Structure 1
Amino acid sequence: MRLHRPYLSATAVLVVSALGITTYHHLAEGDSHAARVRATSTEQAAEEPVPASAAPSATVQSRPQLPTRLPGLGPKTLARVPAAARQVVVVTGAGKKSSSSQVVLWRRVDGGWRRGEVWAAHNGYAGWTDKHYVGDLHSPIGVFGLTDAGGRLADPGTRLPYHRSGAFSVSGTGFEGEPLAGSFDYVIALNYNRQPGTSPMDGTKPLGEGRGGGIWIHVDHGGPTHACISLSKTHMKELLRTLDPADHPVAVLGDAASLAR
Structure 2
Amino acid sequence: MVSPSPRVLLSGLGAVALTALAGCGTAVGSRAQDHAATAAATPPGAVRTVPAPAATPALRMPAGLGPAMLARIPRDSRQLVVVTGRGIDSPDATVVLYRRTAGGWQPDGAAWPAHNAKDGWTADHHGGDLRSPIGVFTLSDAGGLRADPGSRLPYHHSGGFHVGGRGFEGEPLAGSFDYVVAIDYNRKPGTSPLDWTRPLGASRGGGIWFHVDHGGPTHGCVSVSEAHMKQLLATLDPALHPVVVMGDAASLAA
2:163 maps to: 170
1:63-117: per-residue Cα shift (whole Å, max 9, x none)?
A: xx89532221111111110011111000000000000000000111233111121
Tell me the distance in 2 between the aligned counterparts of 1:157 and 1:237: 8
Matched-pair contact (CA < 8 Å) for 2:81–2:244: yes
- 1:209-248 alignment to 2 at 5 Å? 209-248=202-241
Q: Which has the higher helix share?
A: 2
For the pair shown, the structure with the greater C-alpha radius of gyration is 1
Tell me the distance in 1 between the aligned counterparts of 2:106 and 2:69: 19
1:251 maps to: 244
Tell me the distance in 1 between the aligned counterparts of 2:83 and 2:219: 16
Of the three residues 70, 74, 81, the one matched with 2:66 is 74
- 1:4-153 alignment to 2 at 5 Å? 67-115=59-107, 116-153=109-146
Task: Structure 2 unaligned segments of length 5 or more: list them.
Answer: 1-56
AA aligned opposite 1:119: W
Sequence identity percentage = 65
CA shift for structure 1 position 235: 0.3
After TM superposition, where is structure 1 displaced by more than 4 Å over at least 4 residues in a row?
none
SS in 2 for 1:175: coil
Cα distance change on mapping 1:107 and 1:66 into 2, 3 Å:
farther
Tell me the distance in 2 between the aligned counterparts of 1:120 and 1:260: 19
Tell me the distance in 2 between the aligned counterparts of 1:117 and 1:146: 20
AA aligned opposite 1:70: P
TM-score (norm 2): 0.76
Of the three residues 169, 172, 178, the one matched with 1:179 is 172
1:164-198: per-residue Cα shift (whole Å, max 9, x none)?
A: 00000100000000000000000000000000000
- Number of positions where the alignment pairs a residue of Structure 1 with one of Structure 2: 197
2:153 maps to: 160
Task: Structure 1 unaligned segments of length 5 or more: list them.
Answer: 1-64
SS in 2 for 1:78: helix
CA shift for structure 1 position 234: 0.3
Matched-pair contact (CA < 8 Å) for 1:146–1:191: yes
Q: Which has the higher strand share?
A: 1
AA aligned opposite 2:99: R
Matched-pair contact (CA < 8 Å) for 1:66–1:114: no
